[in-house]
Amino acid sequence: MSILVEGSTRVICQGITGSAGAFHTAGCLDYGTKMVGGVTPGKGGTKDDNGLPIFNTVAEATKQTGASATMIFVPPPYAADAILEAAAAGIKVICAITEGIPVQDMIRVKAALRDYPGSSLIGPNCPGIITPGKRVSGQGAAARFTGGCKIGIMPGYIHTAKADASTRKAVGIISRSGTLTYEAVWQCTMLGLGQSTCVGIGGDPIKGLNFIELLTLFERDAETDGVVMIGEIGGADETQAGQWIKQNMTKPVVAFIAGRTAPKGKRMGHAGAIIGGADDTAQAKIDALRKCGVHIAESPADIGSTMAGALRVGDSVRTRTEEIIHR
């Protein structure tokens, strides 16, 4: 099983004729995602380089294609309106990849989305979401998959479905960092740990789905055996998630918090990664999560092995972890 998206999910791309939208639409198609069209105002009635139909509005696209998910590569000044247009058209999963959307625009979006409880926003400034498919041919970047759904910019070939013969357990992954998402996925894959669904929630201070909402979905998913949660300095999201985990989670959760060496008051990489007080530091979050029973990975290199230990999948797996990390 999975959360939010699966192999049958029909997906459109808003901004499909832009360079980023076109490139990543092709990548999603190559992975096996059911990309069914795109939206660029003024270009309705034409087709993109992949032969997908282009529509002027999301409402037209959903009516003609039956799409229930979208990925957004619209430039920052127009991205907020693109999110709300998708919600108004009944799109269930809205994946905003766009970086640099003004905070005031996102405040407006968050308020407006209350009127669309059937829509879930992922991002913005995120790598997207993927429910891995089963490998059918090829290796590395040339691999081809079936039965999965990749919406966004993540390298699909590093992900592994639990159904693959090499896996015994499956974990869900939630991350504020794109690159650390890939690192966690790769380590889990190399250890024979499949992934149910991986969600990059983005590093902006105002965003859509957060840790608690996704932890809730993974807790309910029968095929998710544990969860990796990757956070960073800034805000109280991780600490609040820890309290929720303590009270509600029955599955093991492994957390890594980035930014231990970040100086106070200086933004580090992401718009939301800035220490505003003592509770915002990496160490404060680590201490709070540990008190809530969360397994802490002390280094990015330890995420996979810590998850393997939490799942108690055996000494042979942990030995293999050490070999991979120190190779």
User: How many angstroms from the chain centroid is the CA of residue 187?
Assistant: 16
**Are residues 229 and 215 in contact, defined by beta-carbon separation less than 8 angstroms?**
yes
End-to-end alpha carbon distance in the chain: 33
Rg of the chain, C-alpha, whole Å: 19
Q: Which of 24, 270, 295, 326 is catalytic?
A: 270
Secondary structure (3-state) at 73: coil
Torsion angle (degrees, nearest 10) of CA 72, 257, 223, 316 = 130
* Among the listed residues 323, 253, 255, the one whose alpha carbon sits nearest the alpha carbon of residue 283: 255
SS3 for 184? helix
Residues of the chain with CATH 3.40.50.261: 160-325
pLDDT score recorded for residue 260 = 67
pLDDT-derived band at 203, boundaries 50, 70, 90: confident
* CA pair distance 229, 302, nearest whole angstrom: 13
- Delimit the CATH 3.40.50.720 region(s) of the chain: 10-122
Could you tell me which residues come within 8 angstroms of residue 179 by beta carbon, excluding any fewer than 6 positions away?
none
pLDDT in tens, 43-76: 999 999 999 999 999 999 999 999 999 999 999 9
Residue 118, amino acid = G
Task: Calculate the dihedral angle through the C-alpha atoms of 248, 297, 187, 202, rounding to the nearest 10 degrees.
Answer: 70
Residue 322 confidence (pLDDT)? 44
Q: What pLDDT, in 10s, does the model give residues 242-264? A: 999 999 999 999 999 987 655 66
CATH of 160-325, one of 3.40.1280.10, 3.30.470.20, 3.30.420.10, 3.40.50.261: 3.40.50.261
Would you say 234 and 228 are in contact if contact means Cβ atoms under 8 Å apart? no
Q: What burial letters (b/e) apply to 318-327, b meaning 16+ CB within 10 Å?
A: bebbeeeeee
Predicted confidence at residue 270, as pLDDT, reads 53
Q: In the predicted model, what is the mean pLDDT of residues 275-293?
A: 80
Q: Which fold has domain 10-122?
A: Rossmann fold (3.40.50)
Q: Which two tokens stand for residue 17?
A: 């004729």
Structure tokens at 14: 């808003």
pLDDT digits (tens, 9 = 90+) for 103-156: 999 999 999 999 999 999 999 999 999 999 988 888 877 788 889 999 999 999
Catalytic, 295? Answer: no
Average pLDDT of the residues of the chain: 89
How much is the pLDDT for 232?
86
